[in-house]
Amino acid sequence: MSSAKTSADRLARLLNLVPYLLARPGIELVEAAADLGVSERQLREDLELLWVCGLPGYGPGDLIDMSFDGDRVTITYDAGIDRPLRLTPDEATALVVALRMLAETPGVADRDAIHRALTKIEQAAGEIDAPVAVRLPGNDDRLADLRSALERGNALRLSYYSAARDVSSERIVDPMRLLSVSGRSYLEAWCRSAGAVRMFRVDRIDALTELDEPAAPPAEAQSGDVAEGVFQPDPDSPTVTLRVGRGGRWITEYYPCESVVEVTPEEWLVSLRVNDMDWARRLVLGLGPQVAVVAPAELAEAVRDSAVQALAAYA
């Protein structure tokens, strides 16, 4: 971090510190430090600095003053910085957009409080208008059921459709958390059949029963990092290479691709990693004539065979 950035950060922190303490007379230093995200030592240094700041004249009655009682501090004179600075446009946008996102998230608890908070933050932001609108569709009822099961801490029996294997099956899971990523809702849970943490797409849960048994994900059940998307291709999975015509290019926006080579305008070579070759066969069949398999040869053959067999039924 550059020293200019550090100095701006420190100034912002100091201007907040006086009103923060003013609103909480007698707060313990350790509590204030934790709340403000600084070390107790840093907080003491900040207070020492403030102690020599104040109104012009800079006499004893002009300087910011505070009293200490053991490890507790109370501001006794604020020299006029009794309120924090207004929200900057970026700060107002960040809070307002996040609240709008939260309010739109299917299945979220306490939507009413989110809306009330949003109105108050928008008022505080004054003339700063966050030019951002959010709309996320979703099955609120199904999510509300999942959320209350999660709150009660019970295991669930799911009837779940796996698109990877094109089968619906029953399984018992220990729920861990509910997520909403890129407009889709997911249940992250320990799957007892798989013996692993799995992300279940909520729109593929066809039925669910709450069991009279507490959820008990084992210690090894760790939440995944979803910053880069829910499904990361497994680097050990086989690669499939497709020849893609102009009309099929949209797949490069829809599926995570390993590589896209624009050979000619009418022919792109697109590589993806797939966990399941049978899923790849269904994918390519569904994409139709705009997409042809280059490799592996077995997949190209499987696709052609499927089409030939399917045609036989119409003969």
Sites for other proteins among residues 39-68 (CB under 8 A): 49-50, 52-56, 58
Q: Tell me: does residue 121 bind other proteins (CB under 8 A).
A: yes
* 168's tokens: 């619906």
* 285's tokens: 């069949």
Q: Tell me: does residue 150 bind other proteins (CB under 8 A).
A: yes
Options 60, 219, 286, 297; binder of other proteins; rule CB under 8 A: 286
167 in helix, strand or coil?
strand
Q: Tell me: does residue 207 bind other proteins (CB under 8 A).
A: no
Q: Tell me: does residue 222 bind other proteins (CB under 8 A).
A: no
Binding residue count for other proteins, defined by CB under 8 A: 125
Cross-strand partners of 27: 73
Report residue 26: phi and psi, to 5°: 75, 20
Q: How far apart are CB 69 and other proteins at their closest, in Å? A: 21
Sign of CA dihedral 283, 287, 291, 297: positive
Which residue is associated with the tokens 């020299």? 79
Site string for other proteins, 159-178 (x = CB under 8 A): --x-x--xxx--------xx
Query: Are 240 and 272 contacting, i.e. CB atoms less than 8 angstroms apart?
Result: yes
Binding segment for other proteins (CB under 8 A), chosen from 69-77, 118-126, 193-201, 235-243, is 118-126
Q: Tell me: does residue 257 bind other proteins (CB under 8 A).
A: no
DSSP 91: H
Roughly how many angstroms between the first and final C-alpha of the chain, as a whole number? 71
Site string for other proteins, 264-283 (x = CB under 8 A): -x---------------xxx
Q: Tell me: does residue 128 bind other proteins (CB under 8 A).
A: yes
Binding segment for other proteins (CB under 8 A), chosen from 112-120, 192-200, 211-219, 233-241, is 112-120
Q: Compute the distance between CA of residue 98 and CA of residue 202 in angstroms, rounded to an integer.
A: 22
Neighbour order of strands in the sheet with 72-77: 27-28, 72-77, 65-69
Query: Which C-beta is closer to other proteins: that of 17 or that of 155?
Result: 17
Query: Which C-beta is closer to other proteins: that of 125 or that of 155?
Result: 125
Binding segment for other proteins (CB under 8 A), chosen from 103-111, 190-198, 209-217, 232-240, is 103-111
DSSP 224: P
Neighbours of 141 (CB within 10 A): 10
Q: Select from 64, 68, 72 the least CA-distant residue to 19.
A: 64
Q: Tell me: does residue 25 bind other proteins (CB under 8 A).
A: no
Options 182, 212, 220, 236; binder of other proteins; rule CB under 8 A: 182
Q: Tell me: does residue 110 bind other proteins (CB under 8 A).
A: yes
Options 42, 93, 154, 237; binder of other proteins; rule CB under 8 A: 93
Query: Which C-beta is closer to other proteins: that of 236 or that of 304?
Result: 304
Q: Compute the distance between CA of residue 290 and CA of residue 179 in angstroms, rounded to an integer.
A: 34
Q: How far apart are CB 258 and other proteins at their closest, in Å? A: 17
Q: Compute the distance between CA of residue 8 and CA of residue 85 in angstroms, rounded to an integer.
A: 14
Q: Tell me: does residue 14 bind other proteins (CB under 8 A).
A: yes
